[in-house]
Amino acid sequence: MTGLYTTERMFSTIVAQKCWTNVIRVPRVGTDVATRRVYPSEGRSSKVNNTLPETMTAVINHGPRDYRLEHIPVPTRGPGELLLRVEAVGICASDLKNWAGAAKFWGDENRPAWAETEVVPGHEITGRIIGIDEEASKHWGVALDDRVVVEQIVPCWDCLYCDHGDYHMCEPHNMYGFKRSNPGGMEEYMTISTNSLVHKISKDIPPAHAAFAEPLSCALHAVERAQLQFSDIVVIAGAGPIGLGMIAGAAAKHPAQIISLDMDPRKLEIAEKTGATMTINIAEQDPVAIIKDLTGGYGADVYLEGTGHPSAVPQGLNLLRKLGRYVEYSVFKENVSVDWSIISDDKELDVLGAHLGPNCWPTAIELIETGKLPLDEICTHQLPLADFQKGLDLVASGTESIKVSLIP
């Protein structure tokens, strides 16, 4: 338990305003994003490209539980694109579930496969620009040797959702690390296509900290979806990368209480440092009973789910008060069943989804650059690319690590 206004005040000047910035990019004529067409080399920086090797090491997804370390050609940058030397790529829970063969990615009787094989995984990416032309520099406002982070979605900029500004819900939904059109960051070098969204980030912080901008932006978007109010009792399930980011974002909104749920005492300690005003170890205590007692029998106002474990869903429905708000962020390996009468007839809940981190990247970057998060404790493991399987195993275990990154 910490004081109500201790850690959260650190964030008020950074995140109290809405996570908005003008990041919409206009697609380029002449770049075939769908096929990743390679263009001639005019306009490239020969100073940088002359030093590049012909091949590089990369992780290749050949299907569920079949990722391999291979040598492949170094990619060639097209006009208006960026060439990055990848410095770090985080391993996300969705990377693990993609590797494990979850139906969300590989399909089942109810849905087609979305993920593709022969793809370089990894979407939590930071790297240095080693190849750029005038068009790309003007387009993104970046220069040679800048460090950037890359949004995982590659919008088409021409569908219903992109036209309405909801680029994170782009209908084709190409993403780095899942589609052949946009290989991800588990490789030494990668190209950034012209439809992408890129943000500069400080070169003075560790690469793994910079790559944390992706999960942090996602967590901040979930907080935005919750529409927190000053009087809210907010419960956040999970003190992993997403859950801790949710706590940080929620703290900036100054709700009455931020309650962190997890089974790991070490993670709960970090949750307090990140802004939680109360923690509950659900392996030892009943969170529903504690929260009901805390609220005079009513229940919490808001529940944000960031564990990806099926049991966290009914837990949230049960500990919310009537007319409460439930925000689901996680990607689940299997289908989750609940008693829908709790949502409707019993409590008339608002159930909201959240996907990616649209318009929250600048705020996430500022939180990271200003040192407001205990990232040395959050970013627990940095491994060489060759140890990708160990990294996946650490994420699967969940007991030794919080955020695992590969350093190509």
What CATH number should be reported for the domain holding residue 74? 3.90.180.10
Tallying the residues shown for the chain, one arrives at 408
Same domain for 179 and 238, yes or no, is no
Residue 132 sits in the same domain as residue 227 = no
pLDDT tens per residue across span 148-189: 999 999 999 999 999 999 999 999 999 999 999 999 999 999
| Same-domain pairing of 180 and 236 | no
Q: Are 66 and 191 contained in the same domain? A: yes
Is residue 360 in a domain?
A: no
Residues 188 and 256 reside in one and the same domain: no
Q: Phi-psi region for residue 157, left (φ > 0), alpha (ψ -120 to 50) or beta?
A: left
103 and 242 fall within a common domain:
no
CB neighbour list of residue 5: distance below 8 Å, 6 or more residues apart = 254
Residue carrying structure tokens 């490209």: 49
Q: Which of 125, 116, 269 is nearest to 188 (CA)?
A: 125
Exposed / middle / buried, residue 173 (Cβ in 10 Å: 0-12, 13-18, 19+): middle
Within-domain flag for 236: yes
Look at residue 248 and tell me if it is in a domain: yes
Please tell me whether residues 175 and 241 are part of one structural domain.
no
Question: Is the distance from CB of 240 to CB of 222 less than 8 angstroms?
Answer: no
Residue 208 lies in a domain: no
Query: How many Å apart are CA 19 and CA 367, to the nearest integer?
Result: 12
Cβ 372 vs Cβ 347: under 8 Å: no
In a domain? residue 400: yes
- What is the domain extent for residue 127? 46-196+374-407
In a domain, 201, yes or no: no
Say whether both 272 and 146 belong to one domain. Answer: no
Same domain, 236 and 164: no
Cα gap 169→161, rounded to integer Å = 6
- Whether 61 is covered by a domain: the verdict is yes
In sequence order, what are the beta bridge partners of 320?
300
CA distances from 351 to 123, 256, 348 (A): 27, 21, 9
Dihedral angle, C-alpha 83, 86, 90, 96, nearest 10 °: 70
Q: What is the pLDDT along the chain (408 residues), one digit of tens a residue?
A: 333 333 443 444 444 443 443 343 444 333 333 333 333 333 333 344 458 999 999 999 999 999 999 999 999 999 999 999 999 999 999 999 999 999 989 998 888 999 999 999 999 999 999 999 999 999 999 999 999 999 999 999 999 999 999 999 999 999 999 999 999 999 999 999 999 999 999 999 999 999 999 999 999 999 999 999 999 999 999 999 999 999 999 999 999 999 999 999 999 999 999 999 999 999 999 999 999 999 999 999 999 999 989 999 999 999 999 999 999 998 887 888 999 999 999 999 999 999 999 999 999 999 999 998 999 999 999 999 999 999 999 999 988 999 999 999
Looking at the structure, do residues 245 and 167 belong to the same domain, yes or no? no
Same domain, 136 and 258: no
Domain count of the fold of the chain: 2
DSSP characters over 384-398: EGGGHHHHHHHHHH-
HSE at residue 100, side-chain half, CA atoms within 13 A, is 17
Whole-prediction pTM = 0.87
Other Cβ atoms closer than 10 A to 277? 25
Instruction: Output the domain CATH number for residue 308.
Output: 3.40.50.720
**How do 233-237 and 300-305 pair as beta strands?**
parallel
Instruction: Tell me, yes or no, whether 210 lies in a domain.
Output: no
* Listed residue (240, 306, 295, 250) closest to 270, CA to CA: 240
Please tell me what DSSP assigns to residue 28.
P
Q: Judge if 54 and 184 occupy the same domain.
A: yes
